[in-house]
Chains A and B, each alone.
Chain A
């Protein structure tokens, strides 16, 4: 049973570019959440996708957008990259449907984004 997988593991971009990060949830999960973790900080919630719609959003600008596909996988897109967007981006999956344990999120190993 594969856990949460993220790709790529590392990414280097320059200011102003756009980036797409990918996440495949744990088998059986239907929600995907994205978090930004700056160096030495705790993760900050960006948004959550469920049933292919953004359900909840944290305090992040519209440059951060996402998508969830019918197979529950998800993408995080960041436009007009700033130096301050350099961080570890974590994806977490969970289950909101009937049954199961609904209040646990399982994390991937993250994508390290460096903006130069």
Chain B
């Protein structure tokens, strides 16, 4: 069974700083996808970034980038130049088209 672990329940940084959220996972599969989703107080789960396991190049989306270490089964999210609107719960997820397995989440607060 796949498991996803987020070891940081809460994090807090100042606006414009860089923050890194950690995620580790466990699977016996070789081909899979990894995701970071953001859930603001509005409850809508929003896709932040996606990484395909067979691609060695780390995914980037504007201020968001990942550090994907397949051998270590690690998938961290870096947010550069953080903004107040980045305040939300962040979930790491494993899977793809059929089933997503989520971590417990990290509550990120960006302070002015």
Contact = CB atoms under 8 A, between A and B. Distances in A.
Q: How large is the interface on A (under 10, 10 to 19, 20 to 34, 35 or more residues)?
A: 20 to 34
A43 B100 contact: yes
Contact of A104 (B43, B47, B103, B105): B47
A90 interface: yes
Given A55-B98, A96-B97, A88 B91 contact: no
B101 A107 contact: no
B50 A103 contact: yes
B98 A43 contact: no
B37 to A, nearest CB: 8
Interface of B: 4, 33, 35, 37, 42-47, 50, 52, 91, 93, 96-105
21 contacts: A42-B93, A43-B100, A43-B102, A44-B102, A55-B98, A56-B98, A56-B99, A58-B99, A90-B45, A95-B97, A102-B96, A104-B97, A105-B100, A106-B47, A107-B37, A107-B45, A108-B44, A109-B42, A109-B44, A110-B44, A112-B43
